[in-house]
Structure 1
Amino acid sequence: MRSIVRIVVLGATAVVSIAHAEEDWLRRTPSAKETATIVSCLESALGADKQLACINLVARPCRGTQDGATTLGAGVCIDREVQIWDTLLNQNYRRLMAVLNDEGKNDLKTTQQTWLRFRNQACHWPYPAYQGGTFAGTLSGECFMTKTAIRTIDLVEMLDYLPR
């Protein structure tokens, strides 16, 4: 009887450990290495057209893993990369705001607010199209990732063209 209890306890412990590991994976923020992958790509690629190749460098390999192969996992992978691009977007927005005159700051702020509304609306389309299907979240996330990355690249390019 003791061995059956022990097997049940060990089995339950294993299930809880797997559940916690999966839960940790689902909540994971981008690693320093994942962030560095995109930053390094942006720094080494000269010109916006080549920087576009930096999009999906974290999400694609993550989606190729066992954890990333499910719809939920794909969403986590995409979200990780969105977090990286969003951080870079905000950093470059602040850098640009710091070097613009008042008129430029007002224009950039208005443009950024308009762009945010556009991105959010443009990336909402999968939900009505897929009528609540789980694939809608993946498509919306990919849209959000791509549009955020492209806007980040636009801001980097603006900074590159400003006189120093």
Structure 2
Amino acid sequence: MNVKMIAIAGFFAALTTPVLAQDNQFTTADEIQMQNCWEAVTDLNMQGEEHSLSECIGAASNVCMEEEEGGMTTVGMASCIMRENSWWDSILNINYQNLKQILEPKQFEDLRDAQRKWIAYRDASCAFHYNYWGNGTMRSTAFAGCMLDTTARRASELSNILDMSML
């Protein structure tokens, strides 16, 4: 088993912690959807095709919206999206901690500074999407969608950096 596969296995093992019971926290079903998508992308990449983890954005939340009672309501959609967002946020944090272990101190300091600026950007950008909708019910879904997309893309970016660092 190569280093990348070991890291992926450890990564998924870390996700099975007891944090699942929190509000808007991903469920076992969400985890299975995301893991299946992640593995499919990884398999395609290992076969020489070029795919990105960002292709998995929406894999769990779309199923949640279709299958959960009330999933197609505004509140239900926002909840499903934020559940998946919590999965991506955990990926982002795992990747960040793994990068902390393998990057040179100056490289990690640069990453830490970038991460702090990214968090400020994400929060401001998603606040804009929320406020743009005023008092409309769409604002919670717009906010959740922004958080999911922004967090997932950053998690994917850190995953790519981690992959390159392990070569």
Q: Normalised by the size of structure 2, how large is the TM-score?
A: 0.75
- In the TM superposition, residue 123 of structure 1 has moved relative to its aligned partner by 1.1
- In the TM superposition, residue 72 of structure 1 has moved relative to its aligned partner by 1.0
2:52 paired residue among 41, 45, 50? 50
Q: Mark the CA change 1:28 to 1:104 in structure 2 (over 3 Å): closer, same or farther.
A: closer
Q: Mark the CA change 1:118 to 1:69 in structure 2 (over 3 Å): closer, same or farther.
A: same
Q: Give the SS at the match of 2:31.
A: helix
Distance 2:112 2:140 in 1: 29
Q: Mark the CA change 1:61 to 1:37 in structure 2 (over 3 Å): closer, same or farther.
A: closer
Distance 1:120 1:48 in 2: 31
Q: Normalised by the size of structure 1, how large is the TM-score?
A: 0.77
Q: CA RMSD in A?
A: 2.0
Residue in 2 aligned with 1:13?
none
Q: Mark the CA change 1:99 to 1:119 in structure 2 (over 3 Å): closer, same or farther.
A: same
- In the TM superposition, residue 42 of structure 1 has moved relative to its aligned partner by 2.2
Distance 1:108 1:54 in 2: 24
Residue in 1 aligned with 2:81?
78
Distance 1:88 1:82 in 2: 10
1:136 correspondence with 2:139 = yes
1:34 correspondence with 2:37 = no
1:110 correspondence with 2:113 = yes
Residue in 2 aligned with 1:153?
156
Distance 2:50 2:93 in 1: 18
Aligned length: 139
Gaps of 5+ in 1: 1-25
Q: Give the SS at the match of 1:149.
A: helix
Q: Mark the CA change 1:111 to 1:48 in structure 2 (over 3 Å): closer, same or farther.
A: farther
- In the TM superposition, residue 61 of structure 1 has moved relative to its aligned partner by 1.5
